[in-house]
Chain A
Amino acid sequence: GENVEQHPSTLSVQEGDSAVIKCTYSDSASNYFPWYKQELGKGPQLIIDIRSNVGEKKDQRIAVTLNKTAKHFSLHITETQPEDSAVYFCAAVGTGNQFYFGTGTSLTVIP
């Protein structure tokens, strides 16, 4: 099956700085790569996603890049704010539509 690795497991940044979270996957058949944000005591919520026919996607301060050849994708958050503090999960989804999640990154934005 698919194996998704996510780094770093924890990340602290100063407010206003950028944050980058990286994921690698193993199954070349994976074609959908969502990113979820999970706040304390809540379920994960989709913040951005990318499909394998696209190399980059941006939504305001959030962007995702995908390198299919190297089998890695990254989440970029610019101008971080305290409300960006949460746990972020990447996932890789293949033909069976099963989501394989990374182990999560706990992001802390220091005011």
Chain B
Amino acid sequence: DAEITQSPRHKITETGRQVTLACHQTWNHNNMFWYRQDLGHGLRLIHYSYGVQDTNKGEVSDGYSVSRSNTEDLPLTLESAASSQTSVYFCASSETHRGDEQFFGPGTRLTVL
């Protein structure tokens, strides 16, 4: 069965370190998204991609970057981790551009000390 996976599931890091969160999907979807989930804020879009070599900034992109070298993967990098980036991160993918179901991964809980 097709799926979307994230790794690691839990990560503790220190302020200033670079961190990369992995997202891999086997749906063969062109569209991939990264969200962060914080209490009182719901899910907020960080970055998204509509295909290989395409990346776009979302609502809360400062301090994050993504790259898309193939269809299956969209890694999220925190260039210099800050305590404000402690959160649960979700990756998602969808088949089309036009308002379509997004399939979410299980999430990565990141703690920045």
A57 to chain B, nearest CB (A): 14
Render A61-94 as a binary contact track against B, CB cut-off 8 A, 1 for contact. 0000000000000000000000000000100010
CB-CB contacts below 8 Å: A40-75 with B:
41-46, 49, 51
Beta-carbon contacts under 8 Å, A90-108 to B: 93, 97-99, 101-104
Quick one: CB contact mask for A6-20 with B, threshold 8 Å, 1 for yes? 100000000000000
Q: A49 near B90 (CB under 8 angstroms)?
A: no
B29 within 8 A of A: no
State whether B43 touches A101 (Cβ < 8 A).
Answer: yes
Across the two chains, which residue of chain A brings its CB closest to B38? A103
Please give the residue numbers on chain A whose beta carbons come within 8 Å of chain B beta carbons, in ascending order.
Answer: 1, 4, 6, 31-32, 34, 36, 41-46, 49, 51, 89, 93, 97-99, 101-104
Assess whether B45 is in contact with A46, with CB atoms less than 8 Å apart: no
Considering the complex, which residues of chain B in the window 87-110 have a beta carbon less than 8 Å from any beta carbon of chain A? 90, 92, 97-102, 104-107
**Chain B at the A interface: mostly helix, strand, loop or mixed?**
loop
Interface residue SS majority, chain A: strand
B104–A103 CB distance below 8 A: no
Inter-subunit contact A103/B90 (CB<8 Å): no
Inter-subunit contact A93/B107 (CB<8 Å):
no
Contact pick for A51, options B42, B44, B99, CB 8 Å: B99
In the complex, are the beta carbons of B42 and A102 less than 8 A apart? Answer: yes
